[in-house]
Structure 1
Amino acid sequence: MPRFAANLSMMYTEHDFLDRFAAAAADGFEAVEYLFPYPYDATELRRRLDDHGLRQVLFNAPPGAWESGERGIAALPGREAEVRSGIGRALEYAAELGCPRVHVMAGLVGPGDSAEHRDTYLANLAWAAERAAAAGVDILIEPINGRDMPGYFLNRQSEAHTVVREVGAPNLKVQLDLYHCQIVEGDLTTTLRRDLPTGRVGHLQIAGVPDRHEPDRGELDIRHLFGVIDDLGFGGWIGCEYIPRAGTSEGLGWRHDYRGDNA
């Protein structure tokens, strides 16, 4: 049965961030993910996890100047030193939090992606994967749709899998967000059946399309998709990276319905 992780950057925003761990645990979640741990001391985050019996399963490496609109720097020539420093910081947090996955964002580029951007991206990912391997951590890359994030360097599943194959590091994997994939290319059942058995998918995420609310709202047949994921034997986590329509807890009926219990 698929295992769900609460995304604390989007869910439980009715609480202060450090109080979201308790709220997620109270709703039966056993794992959490979020965008960035860096505003908080790692020991405090570790305490919140331990106090509530939670596992940290994913966070992002430093993305550059996020507040100024940057969305990663791994594909940006001239930022290599910053990428390496950020990977080092991310791995320090991963060690403290026991987190086995770090998502490295590519960044925004102008029209007509240059070979230089791609070469930079591959080189940075190879470096990051090598450092992360020594720490037992997977590096993830995620195709993101151009409607929500115009200009993002990586958009399609096939592109991400080609990058993973070319770098050739066993701990470099794809973060398959079914929300982004549906918007860009659709055909989710075929994508899951094609890509999950390769072992190159390290993490899944879900949200309703088109409005990014609960996954049972909109275009996706989540019971079918979860059944496909289950049939394929995916042993990882599904991050619930969506914006609740109202209160987070009140919107968890989709999970109760799928699991057939009152968790």
Structure 2
Amino acid sequence: MKKTILALVAAVALQSCNNETLQPFDIAQKPASIEVKGYSKPDSLQMKLNGNPVLINEKSTYAGNINTKLEFVLDEGETNFLTVNRKSDGKELAKFEINYKNLEDYKAINFYNLPGLFLQTAVNKPTVNLGRTGFMFIFPNLGELSKNGLTEVKGVLRKANGDAVKNEKGEAVVFEKIGRKDFTDVQVFRNFTDKVVYLDLYKPGESAPYATVELKNGVRYSMIVLQEMQEKNQVVVKGDINVADYL
């Protein structure tokens, strides 16, 4: 009888231990609250959280301004997957792996989906007074085609006659660090009549430009996306996309 009771107690203890091992009672958790701000034109997009469509205003696909807040609970050791997909062909444009440890990195997710470009950055329209022109730049694919290893470049605006464009302090308009992730601060100057303006790009520590980009002048503010592109077996830099056109 004693042996039977001891065996029963041992079995119960073993089962309890196994249950605690497989399903701990006290799993560390964090509440996730993620602000999503995006824009898409002309494509319609769909976001999915762990494969399930994210509804915005009871719709599973959306275009134009895309704003929502995602709220859920994260368990320690768990990873949640948020994807942004194009509706027309289901192509995955972006994927975010959100877990207990990196949650602080995902307080906000920003993106712009434009023709031929998916941009992951916050975009704020600059303030530029009448009679002035402002430029901002971002270079998301810097080095991808050229394989030059650059993470940022310097940009200097000049006129067609070679003169530097100057701000109201009489200083040359210079963008010290044009990088992949964020737009530069806006640089403002007085309007002038030339239809185009040129951005000379410099590698760090060099005094001669390695590329020149022709830009439209006379627009009140321009938020230019620089892109490396392949033309006639050469890598060139273009600035054809102005995000301000979509704001």
The TM-score by the shorter chain falls in which range?
under 0.3
- Greater helix share, structure number: 1
Superposition TM-score, scaled by structure 2 size:
0.26
1 or 2 for the larger relative contact order (CA 8 Å, sep ≥6)?
1
Q: Based on CA coordinates, which of the two structures has the bigger radius of gyration?
A: 2
- Greater strand share, structure number: 2
